Amino acid sequence: MGSREQKRTGYAKRISTHLAAALVTFCLLQIFIVAKMGGSLALHLGIIIAIGGFAVAARGLERRWHLLEQGGLSQGGLALRFRRDLLQLWGACLVGALLWIPVAIIYRFFFG
C-alpha cells in the first residue's frame, strides 16, 4: 500500500475515533444534565432513544467516510470535508446534550 492510500484510509479511522468520543461525551452530558435536573423515568427513557438516534446517525457518517475514501476526491477535498464533518459532529454532540435542559424544565413544569 502506497503512502497516498495510507493517508486516505486515515480519514475513516479518524472519523471513527471522533464518533466514539462524541458518543461517549453525548451520553455522559445527557446523563449528567438529566440527573441534575431531577430526571424521571420518562426522561431517562428519552435519553436511551436519543443515544440510539445518535448511534444510527454516527453509523451513517462512518459509512459516508468509507465511501468518500474510495471515491476519487483529492486530499484537499477530503480534508475540507473532514473538518466540516468534525465541526458538525461535535456541535451536534454538545447542542444535542444541552437540549435536555429546556426539555427537563418543561417536563418539570407540567409534571412536577
Query: What is the C-alpha to C-alpha distance for residues 69 and 35, in angstroms, rounded to an integer?
Result: 41
- Classify residue 81: in a domain, yes or no: yes
Note the pLDDT of residue 74: 87
- Containing domain of residue 26, as a range? 3-107
Note the pLDDT of residue 9: 52
- Classify residue 112: in a domain, yes or no: no
Question: Average pLDDT of 42-71?
Answer: 90
Note the pLDDT of residue 17: 94
- Classify residue 49: in a domain, yes or no: yes
In the chain, the number of structural domains is 1
- Classify residue 16: in a domain, yes or no: yes
- Classify residue 68: in a domain, yes or no: yes
pLDDT tens for residues 1-21?
Answer: 444 544 445 898 999 999 999
Supply angle C-alpha 56, 17, 101, rounded to 5: 55
